[in-house]
Amino acid sequence: MRGLLVLVCICTTVSGTAHAQTPWQFWPEASLFIKLSPTTRILLDVPYATDMEPGQGALDLAAYLDVSLRPIGRPALQKLDWQRSRFFWTRIGYARLLETGGGARAVSENRGILALLGKVGLPAEIWLESRVRADLRWIGGEHSTRYRFRIEATREFTVVHHSVVPYFNVEWFYDTRYNGWARTLYQLGSEFTVSNHFRFELLLARQNDHLPVASSLNAFGTVAKWYY
């Protein structure tokens, strides 16, 4: 419980120190994980981003295939949680971005996605996870590539017999349209396990865009996750 209180205090401090003129967005997301075999699963993901006040929003419709290495010499881990027991896996997928606003809806972007994820254990039961991702993008008929590099630290706790996993990550975006580092994203949050089939996340995010023009925004996000 003390860990939860610390997380709430940190989130409050981050939001309170943000510049008064920085816009806020709401990022709800729903994810469905379907296990196909001990080493493969499907992820269907629907994130949405919108201003706190009425305005434009963006809806992603994404489908991924995850392929993991089965834990070697550790048969007990093969039955445990995928992300918390696997140390390396790949993700291949496709996403379609729909922009909404002013009562209109139009397809604005298509993405092919390839990601490599790995994790290592640190002292004090902290896990460090890295992700390298490439987005092959088609925007208005023009092709470009965005490279994303993320580092995340997590620590699992047990609260009233349920798993709680606070996390903090930083992600850097390199965009070939501008031949430079276009964005930095910071996220602080926690995942809460409700049952074997359902979890949810609460998070705060800070997004700093550097190219083509400098701008920033803050976001509050929720993620609902179903596992089958």
User: What is the set of domains in the chain, with CATH numbers?
Assistant: 2-227 (2.40.160.40)
Cβ-Cβ contacts under 8 Å for 195 (sequence gap 6 or more): none
pTM of the full structure: 0.83
The chain-wide mean pLDDT, for the chain, equals 84
**pLDDT band for position 57 (50/70/90)?**
confident
- Note the pLDDT of residue 102: 53
> Token pair of 154, please?
């997590």
> Token pair of 90, please?
């790949």
What b/e sequence results for 153-162 when a residue is b if at least 16 CB atoms lie within 10 Å of its CB, and e otherwise? Answer: ebbbeeeeee
- Note the pLDDT of residue 82: 63
Q: Residue 12 pLDDT > 60, yes or no?
A: no
Single-letter code of the amino acid located at 12: T
